Amino acid sequence: MSATGLTAAQAGLVSCETCNLLTQPVHPERPGHCPRCGAELESRRPRSIQYTWALVIAAAICYIPANLLPVMNTTTLGTTEPDTIMGGVVFLYTSGSWPLALVVLIASVMVPIGKLIALTYLLVTVQRGVQGGTRERTRLYRMVEIIGRWSMLDVFVDTFTVALLQLKPLMSVEPGLGVLFFAAVVVLTMLAAETFDPRLIWDSGTRVEK
């Protein structure tokens, strides 16, 4: 594969984020729309850093009630017991299915916090104009993008537990407020991964972002 060593931005070109068509806009500041697919052209995702920071901070705030508040309330013969995410992991572990306990622990506890740390690291290094480790940081970004969806696991576990265990008067399960905050963490971090522009990692030195 032949490479010119120039980026599209350096060459005054814009690549369409939807269909990948390269165009040379007359006004690089206002590239307009892609002539092929009609999507709005942007050299870099607009206000990528600000939006990503806002979403990461919002997700970090939701992460606390997501772990402290119960995700489910189980009522058995009149007595109600709250269940947090960690409680669910412990339940799976003590009931003998430790591989599943590990899967839930990774998907529900470690992946969300790992995503928040990774996105914060990417944001800080881009803002400081760090030049090294570009390949590794791009790989980290791709991992955040791919793994992110798996933290929705616990929301599905709670949904189907609630849906099936409606055996009144014997037993019933109701969702707790924690599951709302938990779903919010997953959605916000997924949106943060979408607003972050990995090309900024490679732009350091010649900063395009204002």
Site for another protein in 159-178 (CB under 8 A): 159-167, 170-171, 174-175
Q: Considering only residues 40, 156, 206, 207, which one is a binding residue for another protein as defined by CB under 8 A?
A: 156
State the minimum distance, in angstroms, from the CB of residue 79 to another protein: 15
Pairing of strands 79-83, 72-76: antiparallel
Q: Is 132 or 163 the residue whose CB approaches another protein more closely?
A: 163
Q: Is 209 in the site for another protein (CB under 8 A)?
A: no
The span from the first CA to the last CA of the chain, in angstroms, equals 33
The DSSP code sequence of 57-106 is HHHHHHHHHHHHS-SEEEEETTEEEEE-HHHHHHHHHHTT-HHHHHHHHI
Residues 6+ apart with CB under 8 A from 57: none
Cβ atoms of residues 16 and 39 within 8 Å = yes
Interactions with another protein, residue window 62-81 (CB under 8 A): none
Q: Interacting stretch for another protein, rule CB under 8 A, among 35-43, 49-57, 61-69, 117-125?
A: 35-43
Q: Considering only residues 2, 78, 132, 205, which one is a binding residue for another protein as defined by CB under 8 A?
A: 2
Q: Is 36 in the site for another protein (CB under 8 A)?
A: yes
Using CB atoms within 10 A of its CB, is residue 10 exposed (0-12), middle (13-18) or buried (19+)?
exposed
Q: How many CB atoms lie within 10 A of CB 139?
A: 12
Q: Interacting stretch for another protein, rule CB under 8 A, among 56-64, 85-93, 110-118, 125-133?
A: 85-93
Q: Considering only residues 7, 84, 120, 204, which one is a binding residue for another protein as defined by CB under 8 A?
A: 7
Q: Considering only residues 25, 54, 58, 87, which one is a binding residue for another protein as defined by CB under 8 A?
A: 25
Q: Is 143 in the site for another protein (CB under 8 A)?
A: no
